[in-house]
Structure formats: C-alpha cells, structure tokens
C-alpha cells in the first residue's frame, strides 16, 4: 500500500519520488499526447511553480508565439491527489481551419491537471466570438520534474 502525505509534500513526492528539502519552487516538464486541436494545444509545456505565492510560470510553443516568452498562471489546486494550474492566452489569432473561429482575436483558457505519478490532462477552452460558442479540447499529458 502506498503511503499518503497531506498538503504540498504529497503531490511533490508522488511526482518526484523523493522528499524536497524546503522546496518552494517546483519545475515540471509535461509532454502532451494526442491533441484534439494542435492549433490551441501545445506539444510540450514547461511549468515553474512557486508554491508559496501560488503563481505558475508557463512556457510552451503556443504562448511563445503570442507573448514572445512565458506567461503567468495560478495554482488552483495543490494537494496530495492533484495539481491544477490555470492560465489564459490572450490575443490569440484565429485558427483559419475552424469555421467558428472569429475574425478577431480569441482568448484561450488552459487548465493543466497533474495527478499522482505524473499523468494528467490538458483542457483548452476557446470562446470564439460568443461565450455560448465555447469549444473544449482535451489531451492527456505526462509530466516529470526538474528538467
């Protein structure tokens, strides 16, 4: 039977496999599996988490195109079961392959959830022109620490 640890240490131990010494910054390297939409979902996501402030810095090929660098996100959930990070990519150009994509810029909401052992899910939501035109894309991810 696997031992469970509460709070921040539990998830860290589940992913990293060892105990951090007073760690407040955690780095994750996540590879995104089969993507439902490669325009809205990056192939790889690198995350630096500051567990004291609840802030995450995200680097991926999608945000790099729009912001020319990393983007800030927030830690929504961080416990011994899962870690969930949320960030928004603004001023995203339309995807020319999609009929519902607006002619103006989109806002994309990304939610990355990592579970014990490093497996997880990336959920990408884009609203298009209207909130009732919300589209959701999901992909499996595998995350490791400190690369």
- Whether 35 maps to a domain, the answer reads yes
- Whether 41 maps to a domain, the answer reads yes
CATH number at residue 44: 2.40.128
pTM over 0.95: no
- Whether 102 maps to a domain, the answer reads yes
The number of domains in the chain is: 1
- Whether 36 maps to a domain, the answer reads yes
Q: What mean pLDDT do residues 104-115 have?
A: 82
How far is Cα 72 from Cα 95, in angstroms, rounded to an integer?
23
How far is Cα 73 from Cα 71, in angstroms, rounded to an integer?
7
Per-chain mean pLDDT for the chain: 78
pLDDT, tens digit, 9 for 90 and up, residues 135-144: 788 999 999 9
Residue 18 burial (10 A CB sphere; 0-12, 13-18, 19+): exposed
Backbone angles phi, psi at 124, to 5 degrees: -115, 125
How far is Cα 69 from Cα 64, in angstroms, rounded to an integer?
5
Cβ atoms of 11 and 82 within 8 Å: the answer is yes
- Whether 129 maps to a domain, the answer reads yes
How far is Cα 147 from Cα 144, in angstroms, rounded to an integer?
8
- Whether 47 maps to a domain, the answer reads yes
Quote the domain boundaries for residue 37: 7-15+25-145
Cβ atoms of 75 and 58 within 8 Å: the answer is no
Higher pLDDT among residues 55 and 17, named by residue: 55
- Whether 1 maps to a domain, the answer reads no
pLDDT given at position 95: 64
- Whether residue 113 is predicted with pLDDT greater than 90 in this model: the reply is yes
């Amino acid at each position: 039977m696997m031992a469970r640890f509460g709070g921040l240490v539990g998830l860290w131990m589940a992913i990293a496999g060892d105990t951090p010494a007073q760690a407040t910054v955690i780095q994750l390297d996540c590879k995104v599996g089969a993507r439902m939409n490669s325009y809205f979902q990056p192939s790889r996501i690198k995350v630096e988490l500051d567990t004291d402030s609840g802030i995450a810095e995200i680097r991926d090929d999608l945000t790099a195109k729009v912001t020319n660098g990393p983007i800030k996100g927030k830690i929504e959930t961080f416990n011994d079961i899962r870690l969930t990070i949320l960030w928004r990519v603004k001023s995203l150009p339309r995807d020319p392959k999609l009929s519902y994509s607006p002619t103006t810029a989109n806002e994309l909401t990304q939610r990355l959830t990592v579970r014990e052992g490093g497996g997880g899910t990336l959920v990408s939501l884009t609203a298009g022109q209207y909130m009732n035109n919300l589209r959701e894309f999901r992909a499996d991810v595998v995350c490791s620490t400190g690369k």
